[in-house]
Amino acid sequence: MFAINEGKKKINGESVDTYERDIRETGCRLVAEAGTTGYRGGICRDSGSRTYIRILSMKGDFYFCPVTDGDENMAGVEIAACGDAGLNAVIKALDFIRQALDDQRREVDD
């Protein structure tokens, strides 16, 4: 079993409840945090819906880098991990993020 910490972030003026988990693999440690206000339909700025994810490297050889488009606008993120343990840590972090967001989305729908 693993501990999950609860938190709050303000994203573009909307308060988002977040859930954070420590991810450990041999020689690697990531902190994954995620939260959403759920699906509200419409375009993001018009709907008020917000989603937040964060992956923080605490130990290990990870590379996280923003990707920009031709106009230098943020367009994505690159992630590289060290070996099998790094890959497993990233997969566990993304699995936790998906589950946390899915659980919150379902709570809003109920």
Of 62, 77, 78, whose CA–CA distance to 29 is shortest?
A: 62
Q: What are the φ and ψ backbone dihedral angles of 94, each rounded to 5 degrees?
A: -65, -35
- Assign 11 a pLDDT band (cuts: 50, 70, 90): confident
Report the pLDDT averaged over residues 62-71. Answer: 95
Q: CB under 8 Å to 95, separation ≥6 — which residues?
A: none
Is residue 38 a contact partner of residue 109, using CB atoms and an 8 Å limit? yes
Is residue 46 a contact partner of residue 67, using CB atoms and an 8 Å limit? no
Percent of all residues in the chain with a pLDDT value above 90, rounded to a whole number:
68
Is residue 86 pLDDT above 90, yes or no? yes
Query: What range does the domain containing 88 cover?
Result: 4-109
Of 32, 33, 39, 35, whose CA–CA distance to 15 is shortest?
A: 35
pLDDT at 46: 59
pLDDT at 13: 80
Is residue 1 pLDDT above 50, yes or no? no
Whole-number Å distance between alpha carbons of 36 and 44: 12
Is residue 77 a contact partner of residue 67, using CB atoms and an 8 Å limit? yes
Amino acid at 20: E
Token code pair at residue 25:
């693999």
**How many domains are there within the chain?**
1
